[in-house]
Amino acid sequence: MVLNKRILREFVGNVSKYSGLTILILISSMLIVGFSNSVDCIMSTCQNAALQNNLEDGEFYVKSELSDMTLEKIKSLGVDIEENFYVDYKLFENQTIRIFKDRKNINKISIKKGNNLNGSNQIVIDEHFGEANDYKILNNLIIEKKNFKVVGYATASDYTRIIKKTSDLTPTPKNFGIGFMNEEDFKNLRDKSYSYVFKLNGVPVDKVKNIVSNNSTVTEFIKISDNSRAIGYIDDIKVNKNMSILMGFVICIMIAYMISMMIINTIDEESAIIGALYSLGYVKKEIVKHFMILPTIIVSIGAIIGTSLGFVIKDLLEKATTNTYSMPNITRIYPPYLIFIGVIIPILIVIIVNYFIISKKLNSTPLQLLRKEKKASKLNNVKINHFSFITKFRLREFLREIRGNIILFCGIFFATFGLAFGVCIYRTGDDYVKIIQDQINYNYMYILNRPIEVTENKGLEKITSKGLSIYSKDIEMDMDVILQGINEHSNFYSFSIPENDSGLYISDSVQGKFNLNVGDIITLKDKGENKIFNLKIKGVVKYKSGLNVFMNRSQLNRLLKEDKYYFNGYLSKNKLDINDDYVNSEVTYKNTIKSAQDNTYNMYPTIAFIVISSSAILIISMYLLLKAMVDKSISSISLVKIFGFNQKEINKLYLGSLLYTVLFSIVISIPISVKIIKLMYPGMTADVQAYYSISLEPKDYCLVVIMVMVGYFISDVLLKRHIKTISLSEALKNRD
């Protein structure tokens, strides 16, 4: 069609506009494909590793080895069961490695770097622990006065999140890691802890649990579906994928409307030409097709490049996950559906939206187009008397460009949401660190295997601690909570529970995490002893360092059917000299803070990516939309130049109202964005053993406003340059 020869001329004449649209589409496709592909690659790699390495169906911990008779009972059900004994060996102060023997059937390991075990006096360790402590391959580790050569870095499917206890918040590779040695070397180690793993092979898990509970003292029983160490990464990364797809498609729809607005402006400018084409025999279908060719080409180019870049940057986006979780080398995959949602869907969105809008615009008769007749908007009848000329002019401009202003608001809203989201994540992590710094008053917490009296009593307090679990509706699995019995006048907590008070007090973190209130009945499960405690919540106390619930110690001892003065832990200002054989776990103030800080640091790459992408979307969309509004008024601007208005006055007339639109958009967008984020964030962090509450300070709101206004002022400078280039002769064009 001869008409299509003008497409290249149209592109060259508006290269900045179409380049901007290409970049916007590129960013949206890159967001969708980048996040989705990183999640798909991680899921595929980890699921294949779990399958190849025969990931367990569950595990349990007992105080002593199971008898041969008990093992035979379990095996007779058709269940595969294996020892998973381990030794927590302290290499240095605040540095422990959990050593297992090499697995032969269930939970086999994958070698990430180096070699597997092939002799005695060798060990493979997890990569994060090795790198954090500078244990390189072929270095030696001294374990029980013997040298063990590090021959490789390994991963284990049951320890993707390498934490000492399932209730720990995040991995701390500087302080804790895992390692594997051959069976003979492992036999010689002392102080083993007893754990077993099993594959059900279709047998109900309760049958295994009943046999174990009736024949041993179980301290913990965990199904694979409740094991955050093994599968906790799944919920984390799925949230990123779902959110990126949603945001990407929303941006595509916004871009489609931007394109249609620009095409409508072009149709208005060239309506006389279009009317003439109708008169010459061109039909509406041909005109619509002509106006859709260039946008379709632009969107196709942007979507293809964006999808390609999405596959490229997936390594960068994976780091937020692989820096936290211990995983095999991620295998790159290219799912065909990503081509569809990264390329085909953006093109379809733009084609569908533009087809209906352009078709509606071209419904006018040839005569109406030749005369440039327009339907009078009802907004033109709005009376705006009693204002100065400048104000009335701005209001008329605003009302005339109401559609453009609505799209501008949407663009600012989505960009503001991204900026606010990045700021919220940063602020929430930073605030969490500060809160636990203020609320943790002990330097050391010791949980003991049995009550041991310590003679040194300065800055020391006894506690009773019980690890339990509570069902989370958000992730449909149990989460660990700590039931802690404290003294009436505790020096380590800001609240007090009288000795005669048998009530349960939940921390505000548990209240927020599980949406509980005073008077509710809370169900706490003891998975080890197969017991359930149904307790009524009497109050809420301020404590955000972990998921904790509290009782008076003597009352908790009565609940647990222990002696009134029973205890199994200490809180202390100073380090205690307790034999490691008696210590079940040791929590230090420094390690707790470090864990919280690491959790925040791991989010920095994602935060940076979101903020940079949102800033680019903001600047480009704002400039293109504002430029489209200015281009619609080129004849008017040229005319006021002829009338003698100077550059400053013209800017005031045509750009002044846009500032108010931007300010209005900011005022509306920021509170709504923060409200949405507050509703979303609990679900995004549902599987994390902590509660994060979104709370922004005035300076955070100011930061978001400044970032949006910087985007506006950049656009404003470019628009002023554009207005300056408008010729006086524009007013004389297309005049009868």
DSSP 100-113: EEPPSSSS-EEEEE
Compute the mean pLDDT over every residue in the chain, rounded to the nearest whole number: 87
Residue 584 lies in a domain: no
Tell me, yes or no, whether 101 and 216 share the same domain: yes
Tell me, yes or no, whether 218 and 304 share the same domain: no
Residue pair 129/135 in contact (Cβ under 8 Å)? The answer is yes
Cα angle at 180 between 179 and 184, to 5 degrees?
140
pLDDT > 80? residue 166: no
If DSSP codes are grouped into helix, strand and coil, which group holds residue 558?
helix
Nearest to 497 by CA among 544, 575, 556: 556
pLDDT > 60? residue 562: yes
Q: 465-468: which pairs have CB atoms within 8 A and are 24 or more residues apart?
A: 465/568, 465/569, 466/526, 466/556, 466/560, 467/165, 467/167, 467/220, 468/524, 468/525, 468/526, 468/533
If DSSP codes are grouped into helix, strand and coil, which group holds residue 574?
coil
Residue with structure tokens 């009302």? 399
Cα angle at 337 between 335 and 339, to 5 degrees?
90
Residue 506 lies in a domain: yes
pLDDT-derived band at 150, boundaries 50, 70, 90: very high
Nearest to 31 by CA among 420, 352, 347, 338: 338
Tell me, yes or no, whether 512 and 563 share the same domain: yes
308 CB-near residues (< 8 Å, 6+ apart): none
Tokens in use for 354? 């533009």
Nearest to 25 by CA among 297, 291, 290: 297
User: Is the torsion defined by CA of 549, 231, 610, 672 positive or negative?
Assistant: negative
CA distance 126 to 247: 36
Q: Which domain holds residue 77?
A: 58-230
CA–CA distance from 426 to each of 322, 602, 692 (Å)? Answer: 19, 11, 11
Residue 585 lies in a domain: no
Residue pair 228/687 in contact (Cβ under 8 Å)? The answer is yes
Tell me, yes or no, whether 369 and 385 share the same domain: no
> What is the four-CA torsion angle of 702, 707, 708, 710, rounded to 10 degrees?
120
CA distance 431 to 697: 10
What average pLDDT score do residues 431-441 get? 88
For the chain, the maximum distance between any two Cα atoms, rounded to a whole number of angstroms, is 105
Residue 494 lies in a domain: yes
The mean-pLDDT minimum among 367-381, 412-426, 469-483 falls in 367-381
Q: What is the pLDDT of residue 276?
A: 82
Residue 586 lies in a domain: no
The mean-pLDDT minimum among 92-106, 252-266, 370-384, 593-607 falls in 370-384
Tell me, yes or no, whether 419 and 483 share the same domain: no
Q: What is the pLDDT of residue 473?
A: 80
Residue pair 231/538 in contact (Cβ under 8 Å)? The answer is no
Q: What is the pLDDT of residue 614?
A: 86
The mean-pLDDT minimum among 378-392, 415-429, 653-667 falls in 378-392
Residue pair 226/477 in contact (Cβ under 8 Å)? The answer is yes
| Domain end marker among 230, 249, 269 | 230
Q: What is the pLDDT of residue 374?
A: 62
What average pLDDT score do residues 709-719 get? 89
Per DSSP, 729 falls in state G
Residue pair 3/282 in contact (Cβ under 8 Å)? The answer is yes
Return the number of other C-beta atoms located less than 10 Å from residue 379's C-beta: 12
Q: What are phi and psi of 111, to 5 degrees?
A: -85, 125
Residue pair 619/192 in contact (Cβ under 8 Å)? The answer is no
The angle, 0 to 180 degrees and rounded to 10, between the axes of the packed helices 228-269 and 647-684 is 150
Tokens in use for 663? 């300010």
Nearest to 618 by CA among 687, 482, 711, 502: 711
Residue pair 50/328 in contact (Cβ under 8 Å)? The answer is no
Number of domains within the chain = 4
Tokens in use for 582? 């008696």
Residue 429 lies in a domain: yes
Tell me, yes or no, whether 175 and 158 share the same domain: yes
E strand intervals along 527-572: 531-541, 548-552, 569-572
Residue with structure tokens 């030696």? 140
Tell me, yes or no, whether 325 and 288 share the same domain: yes
pLDDT > 70? residue 383: no
Tell me, yes or no, whether 34 and 128 share the same domain: no
What average pLDDT score do residues 21-33 get? 89
462 CB-near residues (< 8 Å, 6+ apart): 487, 553, 567, 569, 570
| Domain end marker among 230, 255, 290 | 230
Tell me, yes or no, whether 99 and 69 share the same domain: yes
Per DSSP, 57 falls in state S
| Domain end marker among 356, 375, 394 | 375
Per DSSP, 528 falls in state T
681 CB-near residues (< 8 Å, 6+ apart): 424, 428, 692, 694
Tokens in use for 161? 């999140």
What average pLDDT score do residues 562-582 get? 88
Residue pair 101/85 in contact (Cβ under 8 Å)? The answer is yes
Q: 717-722: which pairs have CB atoms within 8 A and are 24 or more residues apart?
A: 718/623, 718/627, 719/623, 719/626, 719/627, 719/630, 719/655, 720/647, 720/651, 720/655, 722/627, 722/630
Is the pLDDT higher at 264 or at 131?
A: 131
Tell me, yes or no, whether 466 and 500 share the same domain: yes
Tell me, yes or no, whether 181 and 250 share the same domain: no
Tell me, yes or no, whether 693 and 551 share the same domain: no
pLDDT-derived band at 154, boundaries 50, 70, 90: very high
Residue 580 lies in a domain: no
